[in-house]
A = this chain, B = another copy of it.
Amino acid sequence: MAFNSKFETPKVTVDIVVFTIVDKKLKTLLVRRKYPPFQDIWALPGGFIRKHEELPHAALRELKEETGVSKAYLEQLYTFGEEKRDPRGRIITIAYFALVPKGHIRLKASHDAKEARLFSLKELPRLAFDHKKIIGYGLTRVRNKIQYTNTAWSLLPEKFTLREIQEVYEKIWGKHADKRNFRKKIISLGLIEAVKGVQRGLKQRPAKLYSFKTKKYVELRRFF
């Protein structure tokens, strides 16, 4: 009996949910599809894996094609394999999520996307395939993750103010935190240090700048 007669040989894609904070809003990257199905509809960046290509490499490649970003926090999210998720046939997608620092994204079109844009998570357009569900998974994962790890810090630039860290947490959770309590806690973790210089150019008191002592991934005992 041929392998093919009984078993499925699906095609496999990777899709990436890219999160970043712009204009004090949590946003995700979408591309407008050039070809059917779902032509002209917005979708997650992604595509088929190539021969001999490792999965995270495929995700990073797609990310770079659309945004120019080559360094980001990248983590496997979930694999979506429902038979009917793609009208072209059995296509399984391995979804990743990426966290990209403030302002590192340079949007570009690519060979199979007409246009790339950041969308606020509160104003998502109609999405192709099951991509709305995938974004939902991504958001849930990020929300859970910031509670007991420092991964969300990948959304920050090299140097940042305490207010900016707090903003990351507030935007992801969608709720406000107390400034004094937040600062106390984040400083008590001992993972950041003040650096020389202040944030200038604003018509208000300048804020101290900080940087990470380490970029290592750290497990926290319930941080936020």
Chain A contact residues, CB within 8 Å of chain B: 3, 6-12, 48-55, 76, 78-79, 81-83, 90, 92, 94, 222
Contact = CB atoms under 8 A, between A and B. Distances in A.
Shortest beta-carbon contacts, A-B, top 8: A7-B48, A55-B81, A79-B79, A8-B51, A8-B49, A79-B94, A222-B222, A10-B12
Given A12-B92, A76-B78, A7 B49 contact: yes
A7 B46 CA distance: 13
A86 to B, nearest CB: 14
Given A8-B48, A8-B49, A12-B92, 10 more contacts: A7-B48, A8-B52, A9-B9, A9-B11, A10-B49, A12-B12, A52-B83, A54-B83, A55-B79, A55-B82
Contacts of A79: 55, 76, 79, 94
B8 A53 contact: yes
Number of copies: 2
Nearest to A221: B222
Interface centre among A48, A49, A76 (most CB of B within 10 A): A49
A39 B79 CA distance: 29
Contact of A51 (B7, B12, B49, B51): B7
A49 B7 CA distance: 6
